[in-house]
Amino acid sequence: MNNPVLNAQLERYHRLIELSRNLASTLDLNQLLERILQSAADLCEAQEASILLYDNLKGELHFEAATNMDNALMRGFSVPMSSIAGWIVTNRKGVIINDAQNDSRLYSQVGAAINLSTRSLLGVPLQTQDKVIGAVEVINKLSGQFTNEDMVLLEALGGQAAVAIENSRLFQQSDLIAEFVHELRTPMASLNTAAHLMGRQEITEEQRSKMVEMIRNETNRLTELASTFLDLARLESGRAQFKSELGEVQPILTGSVEIMSGRAAERNISLETDISPNLPPLNLDRDKLKQVMLNLLSNAIKYNYPGGKVRLEAAQKDGEIVISVSDTGPGISEEALKHMFEKFYRVPGTEKLATGTGLGLSICKRIVEAHRGKINVTSVVGKGTTFTVHLPLPK
C-alpha cells in the first residue's frame, strides 16, 4: 500500500473511528459538546467549529457551543431557519461553501456570534436514525478548500455525535427524574396519612382543620417543587435559553431588594444595601440574574432569626463585579457547606426554620456559571452566612 492518497484517506478514517469511540465514552453534555467540536475541527482541518441545536418548541436553531465561544450566554443566540444551518436541518443534507461571503444565506451566521470572518464553511446535519437534532459546522479550511471527502467524514462524525447527544440528554433526564421521584415520597406520605386520619370518626374539628392546613401546605410545596424542578431540568439539559445583553447590575439588585422588602419586614428583619455607584455594565440575562438575587435574598431572610439582618453588597474588584448577600442566621457547619450546591440538599435542622426544595442554589450556580461567573459560600455557625457571586467584566 504505497499509494499516498489512499494512505492519507485511511489515516483519516482511522482517526474518525477513534474520535467516535471517544465521543461514546462520556455522558456529560458539556464535555461531549467540547469533544465534538475538537473532533470536527481536527478531522476537517478547520479553524473553528460550532454546534447548533434545533429547538422543537420554537422551531428555530440556537448556538449550543463553538470552539471560540467560551461564553455559555451565547447558547441563547438564535439562528433563523433561513440560515445555512437552517438549510442543512431542513434538507437533512450537508453543504460545502467555499466562497462564503457571497452566499446570501450566510446571514450573521457564525461571524457576528463568535467574532470571526467566514471564508469557507462545511456543515452537516446532526442526525440520528429518525430525526435531525441540529447541525455541526466547520469554518475556514486551514489550507485549500473543503472537499467531498471532508463532508463524508463530518457526516459520519455528525451521526455519532447526534446519538451521543441524545444519550447524554436521556441519561441526565433519567438521573434527575429519579431524584425528583425520590423527593416526592415524603410529601406523598404526609398527604396519605392526612387523608387517612381525616376519614376517622373520632378526630375533633380542631384536628380536622389542622389536617386541612397541612394538606394545603404540602400541595403548595409540591407545586413549588414541580416548577423549580422544571426550571433546573431546563438548565441542566442545556435547553434553557439565555439572553445576552449589555446591562446594568445595579437596577437588578435594587429591584430584587424591593421585591423582598415586604417579606423581610414581615419577619422583622432589616435589609441593608451597600452598592457601589457606577458599576460597569455586563453581558447578562437580566431575568435570570434577578432570579439568583431573589433566591439568595429569600434564603437569607428565611434562614434567619426574627430581628436579624440581611446585607447586600456590590462592588467592582479585579475585573469582576462582586456581589454578596450576608445574613445573621444560624450559620452552616463545615460539613454541610460542602454540599450546599447539590440538588435537593437541605442543611439538617433548617427544615424547622422554613420550607424549601433544596433546588434554588443549584439553579443559582447554573445561572452564574452561564455568565462565566462563580458563586461560593462562607459561614460561621452561630453568626451567619455569606453567599458571594463573582461576575467577570466583558473582555
Calculate the CA dihedral of residues 217, 219, 222, 226 and round it to 10 degrees. Answer: -130
Closer residue to ligand ADP, CB minimum distance, 49 or 292? 292
Residue whose cell numbers read 384536628: 207
Closer residue to ligand ADP, CB minimum distance, 49 or 300? 300
In the complex, the smallest distance separating the C-beta of residue 172 from ligand ADP, rounded to whole angstroms, is 19
Please name every residue paired with 246 in a beta bridge, in sequence order, or none if there are none: 283
Q: Helices (H) and strands (E) in the chain — how many of each?
A: 10, 13
* Contact set for ligand ADP, span 338-367 (CB under 6 A): 340, 345-347, 350, 356-361
Closer residue to ligand ADP, CB minimum distance, 252 or 364? 364
> Is 312 among the residues that bind ligand ADP (CB under 6 A)?
no
Closer residue to ligand ADP, CB minimum distance, 293 or 347? 347
In the complex, the smallest distance separating the C-beta of residue 249 from ligand ADP, rounded to whole angstroms, is 21
50: helix, coil or strand? strand
- Beta-carbon contacts of residue 169 (< 8 Å; ≥ 6 apart): 29, 237
240 burial level (CB within 10 Å; 0-12, 13-18, 19+): buried
Q: How far is CA 291 from CA 338, 361, 362, in A?
A: 23, 11, 12
Chain position whose Cβ is nearest to ligand ADP: 356
Pick the binder of ligand ADP from 71, 256, 295, 324 (CB under 6 A). 295
Are the CB atoms for 321 and 314 separated by under 8 Å?
yes
HEC letters along 322-382: EEEEEECCCCCCHHHHCCCCCCCCCCCCHHHCCCCCCCHHHHHHHHHHHCCCEEEEEEECC
In the complex, the smallest distance separating the C-beta of residue 182 from ligand ADP, rounded to whole angstroms, is 15
**Which part of the chain contacts ligand ADP (CB under 6 A), choosing from 165-173, 184-192, 283-291, 327-335?**
327-335
Closer residue to ligand ADP, CB minimum distance, 98 or 355? 355
In the complex, the smallest distance separating the C-beta of residue 355 from ligand ADP, rounded to whole angstroms, is 8
Pick the binder of ligand ADP from 29, 300, 367, 370 (CB under 6 A). 300
Calculate the CA dihedral of residues 123, 126, 128, 131 and round it to 10 degrees. Answer: -100
In the complex, the smallest distance separating the C-beta of residue 260 from ligand ADP, rounded to whole angstroms, is 13
Report the phi/psi class of residue 353: left, alpha or beta, with left for phi > 0 and alpha for psi in -120 to 50: alpha
- 384 vs 328: CA distance, rounded Å: 4
> Is 327 among the residues that bind ligand ADP (CB under 6 A)?
yes
Closer residue to ligand ADP, CB minimum distance, 144 or 348? 348
In the complex, the smallest distance separating the C-beta of residue 255 from ligand ADP, rounded to whole angstroms, is 19
In the complex, the smallest distance separating the C-beta of residue 296 from ligand ADP, rounded to whole angstroms, is 8
Closer residue to ligand ADP, CB minimum distance, 84 or 300? 300
Where do contacts with ligand ADP occur on this chain (CB under 6 A)?
Answer: 295, 299-300, 303, 327, 329, 332, 340, 345-347, 350, 356-361, 385
